[in-house]
Every structure is written in structure tokens, then in C-alpha cells.
A and B are shown apart, each in its own frame.
Chain A
Amino acid sequence: MAIADIKLRPGVILGAAIALHVVLISAQVNTASGLPMLQVVTVGSFSEVQRGTMSLIDGVRGVWSGYVALRQVQEENTALKQELQNLQVRFQQERAAAQRTDNLRQLLELRDRVHLETVAAEVIAGPANPDFRTITIDKGTSEGLDKDMAVISPAGVVGRVVLPSGRAAQVQLLIDRNAAAGVLIERTRVQGIVMGGGDGPLTLQYVPGTADVRTGDLVVTSGIDGIYPEGFVIGTVDHAERGVGAYHQITVRPAVDFARLEEVLVVRTLPASRGGIEEPRQ
């Protein structure tokens, strides 16, 4: 700015002159505490600048820290999610192991209860054709398995071995359309034949119409078919009505959940040499 321009701006000159006087006065005057006013004013004024600068820096630092913290939280969140997923998988594994242990324990209890020679087997495959309700187990002829051996579980009868191989065997489930078993109603000892329908419920046939059949009656194997040992649970009567012929029309709800079979017992004792069961499973 040229000197001529400054002369045209008396306000600027006045401001400069006043500022000069303020500085001059402050340099000579002490405050009540005895400190030079120039220092006090300078420190006080500059402290405000410092305060503002520090506030600005703190703000920026806070925003940056928040951003960094947010990133850290995000990374931590991702890690925690991953850990949670791992834990969930591990929990499922532990739970499955516990369930399997429980199943094996029940199988062991079942084996101890029955006076039959049995082999524990694991289900390794489901049906290859949806029209056939079969499973594949990991035991075969090498373990002494043979055709028409009964397959049971702690819940009840599963089916029979239909195709044994060296290290595996195919088992026909009781719900298969071609499956059948000789049964009796435990409460009245009325006998009949239970047949699979290809789906959930079984049909109980050849029960005389005069027989006393009620919903909820327990249906167990009778042992007359030469395959299944006597006294094993098939299921419960789900629906019974007097049919048009000489027999009841009865549907039985299977005791075994065929969709959740994991371990089973194969009764190795052949039907001709079968000795019986200690007590039927409730």
C-alpha cells in the first residue's frame, strides 16, 4: 500500500496510532498484581488465540480420533462378527457332538437292555430315489450284517437291512411303501400288520373291527414276522375308525423321526435264533 493511499485512509492511520498508544501504555503500566500490563494483555490476548487454536486442534483431533476409532470399531466389529460366526459354528459342532453323544448313550442303554447281539452303525447316506425310503449305514457284511436283519434305534424300529455289502448296508425304512412289520397294540394285545405309506404315517391293517382301538395306543412289534424282535416300539395310533369291511382303518404315527436318523443299532441275531427282549421300550 502506498503512502499516498494511506493518507487517503485516515481510519487506518487512526487505528494504527491507537494501537501504538495502547501498546505503549501497556508497556508501562502494571496490573493490580504487579505484573506488566503489556505482558498480561499480550499473554491474555495470545492465550485466546492459543485457546482457539487448541480448540481447533482438539476438534480436528477429536474428529480424527473419532474417525480412527470408528475404523477400529469397524475392524473390531468385523473381527467380532467373524469370531461370533466361528463360535456359532463351534457351538453347533459342540451341540452336534453332545447330541451324538446322547444318541450313542441311548443306543448303549438300548443295547444293554436287549438280550440281542447288536452292532452300532452310523447313517452315511439317504435315499438315492425319493420313491424309495432307504438309508445307507456304515456297517456291512464285514461286521456280520446280513439281509433282513432288524435295524432299531432308541426311539423305536427303523427298518431292515435289504442290501448288505462289505462295508455298508442299505436299510429299508419302515415308512417305505414296501415295508411291513407284524405288530400288536400293547394295551389290548390285538395284532395286525403295519405298512409304510412312503411318507410319514403308517397304516395298521388287519385289525378286527371289533377290537378296542383308541387314539394314542402304543403299537409295538409282535415278532411274528421273523425280522423284528418282539416288543419294540413302532409308534402310536394317530387315527382309528371303523371301516366298511371287517377291519379298522388305523393310521400310526411312527415313533422314530426318520428325517433325523444318525446312529442305529443292527440286530445281528438272525430271526431263527432270536431269543427275545428284556422289556419293551416305552
Chain B
Amino acid sequence: MSSAAALAAILIAIALQTTLGGLVFRGSTAIDLVLIAVVLVAIKSGPVTGLLAGTVAGLLQDALSGGVLGIGGMAKTIVGFLAGVLGRQFIVTAPLPRFVVLLMATGLHAAMFMGLYTLLNLRQFPSPYTAVVGQAFANALVGVMAVTLIEWLPGLVDRHRVGRILKR
């Protein structure tokens, strides 16, 4: 994946996240599309691209969310780096490994994000475990579905095009 494609994926994810911000499972679990995009880009492109994507995405997300600039950026930078390392070290092309990586990435991101805010005494997160676990499963599920869709989509289009040609 080229840098431009990675940047485009991040920008699309942010755009979707900002427009579909109310996307919630069972009323309390918010999906982080930007995090999903970062993890998928990192798995695909490696740690350097992963951490750069995490930095850009996190800083943009922080800037747009009105929070402290850098906290989300740092969390996503580290997550992107580690996801890239996992993608380099292990075969994570199957849905289940991707699901696990997304699950772990979400947990790590939440831990760092909430931990930094709590450490700096800027925000409190009372009983976040349920929300974090829910978000992790939701992110993993959406991420696996999204990547599956993205990977299958070119083949489906080609098959549809070939079928139409054959019908004629």
C-alpha cells in the first residue's frame, strides 16, 4: 500500500467517523473507524507506515474532537506501530487473526488513551471496561467485515462485469 493510499484510507475513515459519529452498538459502544483504518493500514504496510498513519490520524482526530492534541495521536501511533510489527512477524491475512489484532489494538488504544487522560487528571473514565470490551469486539467485527469487503469487492465487480458480457 502506497503512502497516498494509506493517507486516503485515513481521511476516508475520519470522514466516515465524523459523519457517522453516532454509530453505536447497543447504545453505548462507539466504533472507532479511524483506529480500524490505522490498524488495517499497519498490517498491510508495516510498522513505519503504521505509526505514521497513526500519528496523522490521531492528531487529526484530536484536533477535530477538541481534546488534548497528542493523546489520541500517541495512542494511535503506538498501536499502528505494534500492529505493523505484528503484520510483519505473523500471517494475519485470515479474518480471525485480523479480528484478534483489531481486538488487541482497540484494548491497547483504550488503555493508553484513557490512561493518559487519567494520568494528567484531565478526564475520568468510571468503569470503562464494558465499553472498552464492547468497542474492541465491535471494531474487530467491523474491521474484519470491512477488509473482507474491500478484498472481495474487486472480484465481485469483475465477476459481475464478466457475467453481463456473457449474457449479451
**Could you list which residues of chain A lie within 8 angstroms of chain B, going by C-beta atoms?**
7, 10, 13-14, 17-18, 20-25, 28-29, 32, 37
Contact = CB atoms under 8 A, between A and B. Distances in A.
Given A13-B48, A14-B77, A14-B78, A25 B55 contact: no
Contacts of B71: 21, 25
Interface in B78-134: 78, 81, 84-85, 116, 120-122
B48 A25 contact: no
B47 A18 contact: no
A10 B77 contact: no
B144 interface: no
9 contacts: A10-B51, A14-B51, A21-B73, A21-B74, A24-B69, A25-B69, A25-B71, A25-B116, A29-B120
B70 A14 contact: no
Given A25-B116, A28-B68, A14 B81 contact: yes
A81 to B, nearest CB: 67
A28 B51 contact: no
Contacts, number: 54
A32 B69 CA distance: 19
Interface of B: 46-48, 51-52, 55, 59, 68-71, 73-74, 77-78, 81, 84-85, 116, 120-122
Interface of B is mostly: helix
Contacts of B84: 10
Given A14-B81, A23-B70, A25-B70, 19 more contacts: A10-B84, A13-B48, A13-B52, A14-B77, A17-B51, A17-B52, A17-B55, A18-B78, A20-B55, A21-B55, A21-B74, A21-B77, A22-B74, A24-B69, A24-B70, A25-B74, A29-B122, A32-B121, A37-B120
Contacts of A24: 59, 69-70, 73
Contacts of B74: 17-18, 21-22, 25
A258 B74 CA distance: 105
A126 to B, nearest CB: 100
B69 to A, nearest CB: 6
Contacts of B121: 32
Contacts of B52: 13, 17
What 3 A-B pairs are tightest by C-beta distance, nearest first?
A: A24-B70, A21-B74, A25-B70
B65 to A, nearest CB: 13
Contacts of A28: 68-70
Contacts of B77: 14, 17-18, 21
Taking each of B59, B78, B120, which has the highest tally of chain A beta carbons within 10 Å of its own beta carbon? B120
Contacts of A18: 74, 77-78
Nearest to B54: A17
